[in-house]
Structure 1
Amino acid sequence: MGHSPYQTLEHAITCIDTGYQRPDLAACYMVEAQGELAFVDTGTTYTLPVILKLLEARGLTTDQVKYIIVTHVHLDHAGGAGALMEKCPEAQLVVHPFGARHMVDPTKLTAGATAVYGEERFRQAFGRLIPIPQERVIEAPDEIVIELGGRSLLCLDTPGHARHHICIYDDRSKGLFTGDTFGLSYRDLDTSKGAFILPTTTPVQFDPAAWQATLSRLSEMNPSSAYLTHYGKVSDMNRLADDLHQAIDDFAEIALTVEPENRCAGIQKKLWEWTNNALMKHGCSLGEPRLKALLAMDIELNAQGLDVWLQRREKEQARQPG
């Protein structure tokens, strides 16, 4: 038996493994209502065959896709949006107003990611980003509601991880599709205490104060569960929100107290120490090689994002009078 990329959840929601980097790292979701379909996040261009195969297996067609919703325009979430839109002639793209222009013209996204990864790694990870016609894009300001076969999907402006981030509250499941706003939680790290959660402080717009406010707002909605891009459904919402509040504070504190010399490497070292300690308290018994395989990329990106946040703070402080 191979690893199935599809997991059927309740409330006509399907979790799809996008195939990014490794199994069970990045998901997107298909939502069904009265013959209409929406996808929340898309994975990369390489996820397209996985999505098309799911539609075929379920006896569904690309014409039934009404919305393709991207929580934000980071490429593990939205890199495949253009390719999927090409295949779904009736679909409209739903995206935060700050992210819309990058979906219409992905030149800057390509350039930015290529600068980070190099051309070869960029191509291997993401393929080619395909522009989406402006007239097929719906900009989603805070609290816009889109209707899917009588099912209301409420789009919320949720800064903290990224300024161009939306979460989607689904009135049918009472759940939230959270992109990266509710952190990451890999099923390999589950224990008898439940899910383990980590912030995603990846470059370039980490904002701890905004994120804390966003988390409080989401908690006030009393959602039944969160559908995470990284990875899958989690339901112990109050505890996980508390854990995430604390972790965001801790990560910011780590960044602020690391010595300036080799700062990014210093932050990365401290994040590993924090994570290993937190996992031990959580009852996780995985060995170091397995933890490195699961978390090395995330810890590295988190350290980079915290370093960028510090650089931005320093520039802002330098501009202050006096």
Structure 2
Amino acid sequence: MSAATASAAEHGVITVDTGFQRPSFDAAYLVVENGRAAFIDCGTQHSIPALLAALDAQGLAPADVDWLILTHVHLDHAGGAGALMRRLPNARLAVHPRGAAHMIDPARLVAGATAVYGEEEMARSYGEIVPVPAERVVVAGDGHVVDLAGRALLCVDTPGHARHHLCVWDARSRGWFTGDTFGLSYREFDSPRGPFILPTSSPVQFEPEALKQSIRALLARDPAAMYLTHYGRVGDAQRLGAELIEQIDDMLRMARAAQAGGEGMHARLTAALADYYAARARAHGSALSDAQVRAVLAIDVELNAQGLEVWLARG
């Protein structure tokens, strides 16, 4: 587990490196307003020391946290929610209507992830996943406003990556907390052109048309900042959004071509995706070699291929 760090505040928003998997891979956000605080996403149980340290660095205590808002319930975003809520005596948890039941009773989440990763890897990567008391859970439907000491945090339904996904609009920073809806942008790919970005179609609820519609809805507010879980704050949202939509369409074409080839589809699709992202990184002016690009994106290529295959299987 890597050491986790927190960035300096801008508009009262602090990026917290949760330490999940590697540095600068998985972010949670601390929003501070008039001495009160909210976390947006939380990483895993192993992330809790970093989250509490970020609070302390702002001169705040766990009792000063009013909210934990989850963009969705995938474990790299929400796995530590129950354990964190035990440390935050005054906080309530806001979550998409489709995700609330999984926070109150995470048994299905745990069983599904354990079937994929095994018990040993679950313990290593995610720690214990514990329930959140139902009376502390607030269902945040489309348009729900979380009030943080007078600062409105607007929850908007944004399906496409998952059906239980919401994004959070913060008018103060003119920024969106995007979870996985606005893709992945790792800082090692930054170039003089700015951030590099790619979509995440990870299984099992990838819906490309819904995702493109969600991206367009985010762009419609002309945001100054996008706060990504993977990873950190990025600007230049209009360019990045257009690139995401272009890539989603390209990825669908690659998936259909791989499917048409018959046996060996998965290997063809992962190879095509890896070639595609490496070529885009070169065109973007990334300082990374093709081999480095492929190494950094290896897990994402695998997950994107799986998501595309599940989407194709649904017809």
Task: Name the TM-score class by shorter chain.
Answer: over 0.9
Q: Alignment partner for residue 261 of structure 1, among 263, 269, 276?
A: 263
1:173 aligns with 2:193: no
SS for the counterpart of 2:32 is: strand
SS for the counterpart of 1:223 is: coil
CA distance in 2, matches of 1:140, 1:128: 25
Report the Cα offset of residue 3 of structure 1: 6.6
**Could you tell me whether the CA contact under 8 Å between 2:28 and 2:41 is conserved in 1?**
yes
Amino acid paired to 1:312: R
Amino acid paired to 2:11: H
The alignment covers a number of residue pairs equal to: 312
Amino acid paired to 1:218: L
**Could you tell me whether the CA contact under 8 Å between 1:41 and 1:77 is conserved in 2?**
yes
CA distance in 2, matches of 1:101, 1:278: 40
Amino acid paired to 1:190: D
Amino acid paired to 2:293: L
SS for the counterpart of 1:280 is: helix
**Could you tell me whether the CA contact under 8 Å between 1:159 and 1:211 is conserved in 2?**
yes
1:241 corresponding residue in structure 2: 241
1:297 aligns with 2:313: no
Task: State how 1:1-322 maps to structure 2 within 5 Å.
Answer: 5-258=5-258, 259-313=261-315
**Could you tell me whether the CA contact under 8 Å between 1:158 and 1:166 is conserved in 2?**
yes
CA distance in 2, matches of 1:244, 1:42: 25
SS for the counterpart of 2:112 is: helix
What are the superposed Cα offsets for residues 243-263 of structure 1, whole Å, 9 maximum, x if unpaired?
001011111111111023122
CA distance in 1, matches of 2:96, 2:288: 38
CA distance in 1, matches of 2:105, 2:265: 34
**Could you tell me whether the CA contact under 8 Å between 2:143 and 2:156 is conserved in 1?**
yes
Gaps of 5+ in 2: none
The TM-score with structure 2 as length reference comes to: 0.96
**Percent identity over the alignment?**
49
CA distance in 2, matches of 1:293, 1:256: 25
**Could you tell me whether the CA contact under 8 Å between 1:72 and 1:99 is conserved in 2?**
yes
Report the Cα offset of residue 4 of structure 1: 6.1
**More deviation in 55-64 or 15-24?**
55-64
CA RMSD in angstroms comes to 1.2
What are the superposed Cα offsets for residues 11-55 of structure 1, whole Å, 9 maximum, x if unpaired?
011000011100000000000001110000000010011111222
CA distance in 2, matches of 1:291, 1:179: 22
CA distance in 2, matches of 1:85, 1:290: 38
SS for the counterpart of 1:284 is: coil
Q: 1:9 to 1:57 in 2, by over 3 A?
A: closer
Q: Where do 4+ consecutive residues of structure 1 move more than 3 Å?
A: none
CA distance in 2, matches of 1:53, 1:238: 34
CA distance in 2, matches of 1:152, 1:4: 28
**Could you tell me whether the CA contact under 8 Å between 1:265 and 1:303 is conserved in 2?**
no
1:320 corresponding residue in structure 2: none
